[in-house]
Amino acid sequence: MIVFIGCDVFREELEWVLARHPEVEARGRWLRAGLHNDLGLLERALGQALDEENGSQGPRLLMGSGCLPHLPEIARERGLRLPGAKNCLDALLGLERLRELERGRTMVITPSWLRKTWLAEDGIRALLGWDEVDFRQNFGRYDRILVLDPGLEPMTDLELLEAFELIGVPLEVEPLDLGHFEKFATDVLS
């Protein structure tokens, strides 16, 4: 059985990929989404997960190399392959497409990101002690937030309204094709 250690922001998408590839036996070890906002917490959580999964068939990392500055060093020291993505959005749609979408002061996120880091009580509010003012100061530089929704657990109007009230930036939802992520994930799991 393949064990992968990844950011919880990928959970629904990876479960979708695994359902399409029943020949792959895998289980996930999910790290709390948003930990990259506190590098010490992320490093400790990753280290603990790697230590606990040490006896498995070479755990796979399902996280971006940019989420933890010395992740390449950690992977090298433990003999693990680092996925070829800078962050979750690069893994989901590719860096070139991401850069296109980010033009015009647009921030790109996914429903999981919004739910698990912004709206969740144990997300950024708890990790960093943020309140509404902090959200607006950090995200107010954007003209819009583009939510790329693969339709696995579609955003509700209430969630979009809550996010808008929190950050004060208009949100738009566009569909996300998971073809790029499927290729990324199957490569990680191979």
User: Tens digit of pLDDT for each residue in 53-90?
Assistant: 876 667 889 888 888 988 999 999 988 888 889 999 99
Contact between 89 and 98 (Cβ < 8 Å): yes
Query: Rounded to 5 degrees, what angle do the CA atoms 91, 95, 96 make?
Result: 140
Q: Are residues 65 and 105 in the same domain?
A: no
Q: Range of 113's domain?
A: 89-175
Q: What is the pLDDT of residue 56?
A: 61
Q: What is the total count of domains within the chain? A: 2
Which residues of the chain fall below pLDDT 50? none
Shared domain check, 95 and 53: no
Q: What is the pLDDT of residues 18-33, one digit of tens each?
A: 999 999 888 889 999 8
Question: What integer pLDDT is reported at residue 31 of this predicted model?
Answer: 94
Q: Yes or no: say if 59 and 4 are a contact pair by the CB < 8 Å rule.
A: yes
Q: Parallel, antiparallel, or unpaired for β 144-149 and 171-175?
A: parallel
pLDDT at res. 81: 86
Q: What are the start-end ranges of the E strands in the chain? A: 2-7, 26-31, 60-62, 106-109, 144-149, 171-175
Q: Is 97 found in the same domain as 63?
A: no
- Shared-domain flag, residues 63 and 139: no
Q: Return the structure tokens found at 114.
A: 């919004």
C-alpha radius of gyration, the chain, whole number: 17
- Please tell me the pTM assigned to this model: 0.89
Beta strands 2-7 and 26-31 are parallel
- In this structure, the answer to whether residues 131 and 152 fall within a common structural domain is yes
pLDDT at 92: 95
Residue 126's pLDDT is what? 86
